[in-house]
Each structure stands twice: as C-alpha cells, then as structure tokens.
Amino acid sequence: MTYGRKPDHFLNAMNNQPLPAPERPPHSVYYRWELLLLLFFTYFLHQADRAIFGIVLPSIKTDLKLTDTQIGVSGTVLFLVLAVMVPAGGMLGDRLSKKWIITGSLIFWSISTMLTGVSRGLAGLIAFRSVATGGGESFYGPASTALIAAFHKKTRALALSIHQSSLYIGIMVSGFLAAWVSQQFGWRSTFYIFGGCGLLLGGVLVFRLRDPRAGETEISAQESAQPLPPLEAVRTLVRIPTALLLTVGFTAIVFVNNAYLVWAPMFIGAKFGVPEITAGGFSMFYHHLAALAGVLIGGAVADAVVPRRPRFRLQLQATAMLCGVPLIFLIGRVNSLAAIWIVIALFGFVRGLYESNTHAAMFDVVPPRLRSTVVGLMIMCAFLIGSLSPLLLGMLGDHYGTASGLGAGFSGLSLAWLIGGLCIVAALVFTYNRDRLKNT
C-alpha cells in the first residue's frame, strides 16, 4: 500500500518548524511614480534647508556679528559632517529598511533646522546647522537613490533626473521665499517654517513610503540576506577604476557647488550693490532653473541613447564639465549684472547635464547590492574635499575684501572642473568598456 505525500503544513507541524511567510505581491506598477513624487518633495526640503542659510547669510552675519572666515567655518563643518556620516548611511541603506532610514533622516534634519533659528552665535550655528542638520541629511542620499533604482529599471536615468531636479526647484523656491520671510519676520522665522514643513512631510512618509518587495529588485534573496562586510565593499569598489574616476569627477562638482551655495548671493550683492532678495533670489533662480532644464534633458536623452551607445553617459558628462570650465572662470570676472545672470545660467545648464547621470553612470559599473554603499562612499570623498571650498573663499573674502576675494575664488574654482572633466575622459577612453556591467 502506498501513501501520498503529506502536505507541507503537516510536515512543518510535525517537525515543530514555523510556516514560511507568504510572499507579498509586488506593488502596483504606478507606485514607482508615487515613490518618486514622495522623494521629490523630500529632496526638495533636503536642499532648501541647506540653501536658506546662504540666502539669509547677510542678516545672520550682521545679527550675530560674524566674520567671513567664521561663516566659512560653519559651512565647512557642515560638509565635513556629511562626509564623515554618509558612509554609515550608505552601508545601513544596503542592510536595513530604506523607508525608515529616509523617514528618520527627514524628521531629524527638520528638527535641527528649526533649532538653527534659536542660535545666538557661531557655536549655535555649528551645533544645530552644521553638526545636527548635516548628520541628519547624510543618511538620505544613498538610501533614496538606491530605492529609486530598485523601482525604476528602464526609466532609471529619467527617474533619478526628476529626483535631482527637486534640488534645483528647492533652491530656486527657497531663494525668494527665504529672502521674503527674512525681510518680513526675521531670519530665524525662515528656519522655523522650513523645518516645520519637513516634520509634516515626515508624517506622510510614515504611511506612504514603501520598501521593494519580491520581484522588484535586482538583488537576490541570498545576496540580500548576506550583504558584503563594509571593508569588503570598499575593496570591491577600489577594484573598479571607472568608479574611482567618476568619484573624482563628482568631487569636482561638489567642490564648486558648495562654494556657490554658500557665497554666490553675498558675492553678487557685494559686487553689484543689489539688495539681499535680488542677489539671493536671482543667483539661485537663474542658475538652478537652467540646471533643471539640463538635468531633465540629459536624463531623457541618456535613457534613449544608452541602450544603443552605452558610453554616452560618460561622453555627456565629460562634455558638460569641459564646457563649464570657462563659465566658472567668468563668474568672478564679468562686470555687469546682466552678464553675471547669463554666465551663472549657462553654468547651471551644463551642471544639470552632468548631474543627470551622476548615479546612473556609477550604477552601470557597480553591483546592485552595493549601490547604497557606493553612493555613500562617493559622497564621503566628494564632501571631505568639497567641504574646504566655503572656508577657502571666506578666507579670501576677509583678506582681499568680499567682492574682490570672492571673485578671485570663483574664478579659481574652474580648475576643479578641469581636473574632473579630464578624469571622466580618462574613464571613457581607458576603463569603462572593461568595467561596465553588461546587464545594465
């Protein structure tokens, strides 16, 4: 007499083993766009909270009686904290729930932004804005880009470009809004309002943000259960020459961006004698509106061309950086207000073309399970070096005068983009074909 196979649930009960958890169905095909919308607004506040400092900087400088060098110190400490903390954010993003990392990061930096409004001197600015806000913001980038990449495969560059565009929109909007709030209610109210908006959005993310389910990620269950140890992840990264050269290029971008964000409003106001709302608002608006156009065009074109020409991402990035070199030099040299608006807009456009493929290019050469970690390491390297530019320009401003010193500093920043552009060319010529993942 033969017996049929006992059902699995009977065997599990006999062996005193827990039943396997039922596999949840994938999210709706539309959720990837809802996710992008949620992260768009989160990144909007991520960058706006950082940008409002530069907008209201003249008021802060007068109220707290700070020198240009002291202001530069606060900016440098912010970017150093980001550099030190972001690798931890990247490694945790490859191991823990990206939803809770992103949500916790938003709530933490929003509280810190509000506390910046109670600062009474340099120590308060460093504690609340530089250390606390920078520490909170450092966990957002790696987890968010990896989460977008998990949900967007065929539209990856476009989705990352739309996400990147919120940086520009956030800074444009915050430029005028922060200047207006500062004039009407004082610079402290600016931090209270932006921080409060972040807390409200954090409540929305608690209920709507999701991690990918089975079938929605390129990482196998076995890889997910056994992530690489941190040192092994670093060793894997340094064995990919293209990833290292891309990191140098991104470092050049960050080095210039940090200086522009902190000092452009004050430089334009001092050189051309325009009020705070004009210098702060338009220096952010023209530059980031053009960058928005560049990032959306670059992302859409890259997604269309790369399947036929995989090298196109790096070709676009190298071209953008080398075209940007003379534009950055001219920021410190032009002598009319109309000319400075044109130059910073053109600079913004080529910056957007480059940044449309910052993460997509890196994801073409690193394994999927290392995406968050690699983004963290890339940001760490970029901000360790990029943290110095606000301080260097502040010292030049104190030594040669705000207008002359900052003008010379901006022109000198063009060398950073020259070095970065040449590194992208080197990757394109010598290493990319070998390092590219063939299934991207």
Q: What is the pLDDT of residues 254-271, one digit of tens each?
A: 999 999 988 998 899 999
Predicted local distance difference test score (pLDDT) of residue 40: 94
Domains in the chain, CATH or no CATH each: 29-210+222-435 (1.20.1250.20)
Q: Give SS3 for 417.
A: helix
Q: d(Cα 409, Cα 97) in Å, to the nearest integer?
A: 42
Predicted local distance difference test score (pLDDT) of residue 240: 92
Nearest Cα neighbor of 428 from 260, 303, 315, 295 is 315
Nearest Cα neighbor of 163 from 425, 375, 324 is 375
Mean pLDDT by 10 residues, the chain (440 residues): 47 49 55 90 88 84 89 85 83 84 93 91 87 82 85 80 84 83 90 94 93 60 54 78 95 95 90 85 90 90 90 96 98 96 97 92 86 81 90 92 94 97 97 79
* pTM of this prediction exceeds 0.85: no
Residue 234 near residue 139, CB atoms below 8 Å: no
CA distances, 231 to each of 47, 83, 239, 298 (Å): 30, 17, 13, 34
- DSSP secondary structure string, 154-214? TTHHHHHHHHHHHHHHHHHHHHHHHHHHHHHH-HHHHHHHHHHHHHHHHHHHHHH-----T
Predicted local distance difference test score (pLDDT) of residue 193: 93
Predicted local distance difference test score (pLDDT) of residue 217: 56
